[in-house]
Structure formats: structure tokens, C-alpha cells
Amino acid sequence: MTDTSLLKHAPQIGAEAIALLEQLSNASGVSGDEGAVRALVLEQVRPLADSARVDALGNVIAFKAGTQGDARPKVMLAAHMDEVGLMISADDGDGLFQFQVVGGIDARQLAGKAVLVGKARIPGVIGARAIHLTSPEERRNTIPLSTLRIDVGPGEAASRVEPGDRAAFATRFRHSGPSLMGKALDNRLGVATLIELLRAAPENIDLTCVFTTQEEIGLRGAGAAAYSVQPDFAIAVDSTPANDLPAWDGTENARYNTRLGYGPAIYSYDRGTISDPRLVRWLARTGEEYGIPFQMRQPGGGGTDAGAIHQQRAGVPSVSVSVPGRYPHTAILLARLEDWQNTVRLLWVALRAMPEGLLAEE
């Protein structure tokens, strides 16, 4: 019989953690330009960790040694700091700029959005030709990216914008009822999860929390970090789509990937990784024994930093756990506070109650 009293000690997501998530979500951190998010992360982790450093790729690597025993497992948790967004590609004059997409954003998600350009967060908008001037035929087709512009106005701000500058959606974070809404909750939810776990670091492990860069454009940061960290095993903590909407024809939607409100999603298999089955079993068993809701992410496309981490050096046993979120890679993602809380709880309890010989040969 499992002693579930451990649950009482798991980190609770309160108003402070939500306020931090809000700051993280509102910060701009388009892949390769994660500086504003990195600054927030460093501010948080420096007082919590034994050491915190920034590597050549801009990853933040924060280490905290345990205090129990002397052969503690070395665990790496990875959460990417970057978000999908836009990059200025050309100056059309009069405050109008052409742009490209960074990461996987559907062109159907761009028209009519407010954005913030560059480190100075210059306000801009992506407009669309007025409905009055379009034909019904035209409205059946996606507005091509090549015709969209970021409009910052013709004043002096335009002179401070140049090709290569990133732009992020200007969406402001909201907490409404049981839900959280924000532009970059993929993956600031993971970032905030790691910070909460570092704050309550389990004494039985040596914990390295890695806040990675450039995940959205090909898992670029995580591999190098795993190389330097050399963990015994790794968990990528991310956000995964909840495609749990109704089908047009009323048939059952059996391809939802994950469902909101069903708890953290444990990965068995995605485009980049076959999760280490020992780690999958361990996490699922923890959920069952401690009564923490979880769901198995439907096997399929998509991927996490685990895809890069598990192939480092001679191999790193890896698994991913994600907070489900609706509408990822759009201007607003919607997640459930309860799912986030259960993600933090599952990971903390699993690590704190980690069985000996977890990775022994089977």
C-alpha cells in the first residue's frame, strides 16, 4: 500500500506561481531570441540553484544537488523557453514591414493580430484587406503570407525596426475560471513547471533543470545541453496539443492527441522519440498509485526536446510529459490550471518517490 501522504508535500500552484506564468507568457521569446525569457528564468533560478549558467546556445542550465545518500541519480528536466513567432524580412517604407514565420504557424492564424516588434516591443498590427473590398471567392482562400505586412506606423519607431528583428503576438495572459490563456504557454507552462520543481527540489536526486532554446525550429538547444549535463535520464516537460474539438460531421473525434482536463500527458511515441518504456511505466504507475490524473498522449506526430536529448553521447533514457493545451502555435493557447497543477504534482511525486533500480536491466 502506497503512503500517499507524500502528496501533501508536492508544490501547490498558487497566485504567485500563476503571476510568474503570466510574466513568462507575456515576455517575447521567439526561437533564437529568447533573451527576455532567459532573464526572467535566471532571476528565478539563481536563488534556488547551487549553480546556474548560460551555455553557447543560450540554454540556462541550473543545478541543485540532493542531500540524501551518496549515489543519487542525476536527473535532467528540460523545458524550452522559445516560442513560435515572426521575423521581419524587409522594409517596405512608411512603417510597413514584410515578415517570415519562425516555427510552425499556420498562415490562417496571422491576419488581424496585434504584435510586438523587437526587444523594444514596438507595437504593430497585421491587418487585412477590409471585407468590403473582397469578393466571396477571395474569402474562400487563405490570405497569402506574402501579402501580409506588420504595420508599426510611419513615425520614428519604423527606423528602429530592421530585418532580422523578431515579432511576437501581443496577446495578454488571462486566468479565467478554470483556464489559463496566453500566447506562449507552449512552453512557458513547462518553464514555470521546472521553476516550481527547482523551488521544491527533491532531496533524493541531483536535479538539473535546463531551459532550452530553439526547440520550435528543430530541437537545437536541448542536444548540446544534454551533452554537457550527462544525466542518467531526462524528462522533457512541454505543452502538447489538445485537439479535442467536435468533428464537423458529428462523428466521434478519436484523434484528439490529448484532452483538456484529463491531466498531464505522458508520451510513449512521437515523431522524434520512442520513450524509454521504463520511464513511461514509472510515471504511469506513480499517477495510479498516488491518484494523480494523467493521460497517455496519443502516439503520432509532433515532438519535444526528448528527440534531441535521447541520442546524446551513448544515449540518454528519455520521456516527455506535457501539459495539454488547445490552439498551440496561434496567438492564444488555452490550458487548464488543474492540468498544470497535476503535471507539477506527478513529476514531483515521481521524482521524490523514485524507486531504486529504476533503470536496471529488465
Partner 1 sequence: MGDLVPYLKELLSLPGLSGHEAPVMDVVRRAWAPLSDEQRVSRMGSLEALRKGRGDPEQDAGASRPRPSILLAAHMDAIGMMVTAVVDGWLSFTQIGGVDPRVLPGQPVLVHGREPLPGIVVQGPDFLAPEDVHGRPHPLERLWVDVGRTAEETARLVRPGDLISYDTQPAELSGELISGHTLDNRASVAAVTHCLEILSRRIHDADVWAVATVQEEVSFGGGYTSAFGIRPDLAIAIDVCQAQGPGTSEAHIPHLGRGAVVGKGPNIHPYIQRALVRVAEEMEIPFLSRGMAAHSGTDAYPMQVTAGGIPTGVISIPLRYMHTPVEVVSLKDIRRVGRLLAEFITRLDRAFVDNITWDDEP
Judged by CB under 8 A, the residue of 23, 109, 228, 311 near partner 1 is 109
Pairing of strands 85-93, 96-102: antiparallel
Q: At what angle do helices 15-26 and 185-199 cross, to 10 degrees?
A: 140
Footprint (CB under 8 A) of partner 1, residues 67-106: 92, 95-96
Nearer to partner 1 (CB atom), residue 50 or residue 138: 138
Query: Cis before residue 257, ω within 30 degrees of 0?
Result: no
Pairwise CA distance, residues 86 & 31, whole Å: 9
Candidate segments 146-154, 184-192, 215-223, 225-233, binder of partner 1 by CB under 8 A:
146-154
Alpha carbon distance, N-terminus to C-terminus of the chain: 24
The reply on whether position 126 binds partner 1 by CB under 8 A is yes
Binding segment toward partner 1, per CB under 8 A, in 47-55, 65-73, 131-139, 195-203: 131-139
Q: Copy the grid coordinates of residue 230.
A: 550527462
d(CA 272, CA 326): 21
Interface with partner 1 in residues 163-222 (CB under 8 A): 170-172, 174, 176-179, 181
Candidates 275, 235, 240, 286; CA nearest to 260 is: 240
- Residue 83 CA to residue 186 CA, distance in Å, equals 7
How many Cα atoms occupy the beta-carbon half-sphere of 45 within 13 Å? 31
Between residues 125 and 284, which has the closer beta carbon with respect to partner 1? 125
- When asked if residue 38 is in the footprint of partner 1 (CB under 8 A), the reply is no
Find, among 105, 102, 122, the residue nearest to 34 by Cα: 102
Residue 100 phi, psi (nearest 5): -115, 165
- What is the closest distance, in whole angstroms, from the C-beta atom of residue 31 to partner 1 in the complex? 19
183 or 220, CB closer to partner 1?
183
Contact track, partner 1, 240-279, x by CB under 8 A: -x-x-xxxxx---x-x-----x------------------
> Which residue lies nearer to partner 1 by CB, 187 or 286?
187
- Residue tagged 533560478 (cell numbers): 45
Residue closest to 216 by CA, chosen among 337, 37, 10, 66:
37
Closest distance of CB 225 from partner 1, Å: 31
- Catalytic site positions: 215
> How near is the Cβ of 326 to partner 1 at its closest, in Å?
7
Residue 119 found at the interface with partner 1 (CB under 8 A): no
Residues that bind partner 1 (CB under 8 A): 92, 95-96, 108-109, 111-114, 122-134, 139-143, 147-149, 151-158, 170-172, 174, 176-179, 181, 241, 243, 245-249, 253, 255, 261, 326-327, 330-332, 334, 336
